[in-house]
Amino acid sequence: MKMKLSEIARVVGAHYAVPDPVAPTVTGVAFDTRKLHPGDLFVPITGERDGHDFIGAAERAGAVATFVQAGHAPVSTALPQLVVPDPLKALNDLARYYLLMKVNPKVVAITGSNGKTTTKDMTAAILATQYHVIKTQDNYNNEIGVPMTILSMDTNTEVLVVEMGMDRPGQLDALSKLVEPDVAVITMIGEAHIEFFKTRDKIADAKMEITHGLKEDGLFIYNGDEPLLRERAKQVDQDQKTFGLNPDNILYARDIVAGETKTDFSLSRWPDLRFSIPMMGEWNVANALAAILVGRRFHIKPEAIQAALKDFPVTKNRTQWVTGDAGEPILSDVYNANPTAMKAVLNDFAEFPCRGRRIAVLGDMLELGDASAALHASVAAALDPQKIQEVYLYGDEIVALRDELAKKYAPTHLHYFPKGEQRHLIVALEDHIVHDDLVMLKASHGLHLEKVLQALIEGAE
């Protein structure tokens, strides 16, 4: 972006704390001084710390101006200060203005309990074969991240692919109305955040908020294998297309062949074309179907879609294979976890060729609320001692799965470590894993299994 500070002040309804005759040019926006670049406008957001405490650091890092919340102004700084009622709202107002008045791209908004990041990456890769595309980076998918993504666009951006997360009702409503998508996508409804929403029905209601800002001539794309979405889609007036693995969808997959590092499939629409994605799992095929429907909305040819999916760049820390210090292959999925995703990965893992033992290392799935014990126990259905010979469990919530697995696993093959005993878990794994074993790690990010992964890669000191 490139805007005069005076224009920004007008857009967000700010006034200067101290008269500023210069009105510098702003070339970016930052809310974290560690990521601030010279020329940025600093946005002091209050979270665990008050962002106003970092205005001095922003000045030293090269900021050219700062928002200041009314009540704090004026602060002690040489920076021009734009006084606003709420810096976060001002950030959103600025992002909306920049989106609509400065760039005006087509917008694809994507949400879902699982798969939204992968679907975003696939969609961006497909659209990039024909358009200049900007997509959400990292985990910038909330009320701070979405406006930051918007303000990161070049003025020649033709399509913005924006990921939207949520952890409370109303959040997607606000984000959807901010970006006014041309295409809205829901990948699936799972149990993520069920602690806050209590039921999958309420999760579905909240996910449907992504359609609240959908343009009148927009397209709603959703997983037609989910009855909760089919029911709610009847209330959406815009055009709709469904995807899934069942043949009653507009686009469905067939002849799926899943491997350790890629999955091949055919489509109902173009039976002569064979598609491939560099990821494991049927659930990722469903994500690809959503991306394909978006591509067709933008008139991307099937052959170009096929080529884009074959080697699209995958966001770091998603399901990936690495090699441990003993030479063992490790399937790492330590970014997040919920029961649906965990069972899906375990089902695939159980079928991969293995000369030694299959070893599953599983940690707590967070934010499951009152249903946590039952949902953790439900994962036992995907664990067969004949296929996954060793199970290591880490955390407090996962005790329910341990108790359920004790009914079919011998004590010598079922290992439990309470949260706080991660080092003991690492030592036990290092002592028992050998070259021919196949290892899998999955848990919510709050369990920090990435430290276990790093230890297995680096080996004992």
Annotated binding-site positions: 112-118
Annotated binding-site residue numbers for ATP = 112-118
Residue 258, φ and ψ in degrees, nearest 5: -95, 135
Using an 8 Å Cβ cutoff, are 425 and 456 in contact? no
HEC-encoded secondary structure of the chain = CCEEHHHHHHHHCCEECCCCCCCCEECEEECCHHHCCCCEEECCCCCCCCHHHHHHHHHHHCCCEEEEECCCCCCCCCCCEEEECCHHHHHHHHHHHHHHHHHCCEEEEEECCCCHHHHHHHHHHHHCCCCCEEECCCCCCCCCHHHHHHHCCCCCCCEEEEECCCCCCCHHHHHHHHHCCCEEEECCCCCCCHHHHCCHHHHHHHHHHHHCCCCCCCEEEEECCCHHHHHHHCCCCCEEEEEECCCCCCEEEEEEEECCCCEEEEECCCCCCEEEECCCCHHHHHHHHHHHHHHHHCCCCHHHHHHHHHCCCCCCCCCEEEECCCCCEEEEECCCCCHHHHHHHHHHHCCCCCCCCEEEEEECCCCCHHHHHHHHHHHHHHCCCCCCCEEEEECCCCHHHHHHHCCCCCHHHEEEECCCCHHHHHHHHHHHCCCCCEEEEECCHHHCHHHHHHHHHHCCC
Six-digit token pair at 281? 């799992």
Q: How many CB atoms lie within 10 A of CB 399?
A: 16
Q: Check: CB of residue 394 under 8 Å from CB of residue 443.
A: yes
